[in-house]
Amino acid sequence: MSKGDIISSSLAGLSLLVAVFFAVQQTRLQNRVTAIEESRRREEVDARLHARVTARIKDTPDPVLVLTTTGLQKPGLLSSPSARRTRGASPYWNTRNSCR
């Protein structure tokens, strides 16, 4: 076996180890993202069960759609990380995401 063959084999082995390492890291990251998405889906379903959203058109020169909610608010919904991020963004923070 020549010196070139040894170097080629070593580089191939090293690249295989690096590929395995990044595959494991990607799998872990994907599992975390999946867990976050499932948690948000559960929050959304829970919020929909408790929401009582009404829509009206505000009578102004430029008509505006106004959404309000009189739904029950559970402490868990207000303390979730996603709710804390969006709560201050709009006076209608709890209906904003459902209007897409």
| pTM to 2 decimal places | 0.47
68-72, 81-85, 91-95: which is most confident: 68-72
68 vs 98, which has greater pLDDT?
68
CA distance 78 to 58: 27
What's the confidence (pLDDT) of residue 82?
47
Q: What are the residue ranges spanned by the domains of the chain?
A: 3-99
| Banded model confidence at residue 30, pLDDT cuts 50, 70, 90 | very high
- Using alpha carbons, list the distances in angstroms from residue 88 to 29, 44, 76, 82, 85: 29, 18, 17, 11, 7
Is the CB of residue 75 less than 8 Å from the CB of residue 43?
no
pLDDT in tens, 43-57: 988 888 877 888 899
Residue 34 pLDDT exceeds 50: yes
Strand 64-69, strand 53-58: pairing? antiparallel
Is the CB of residue 68 less than 8 Å from the CB of residue 94?
no
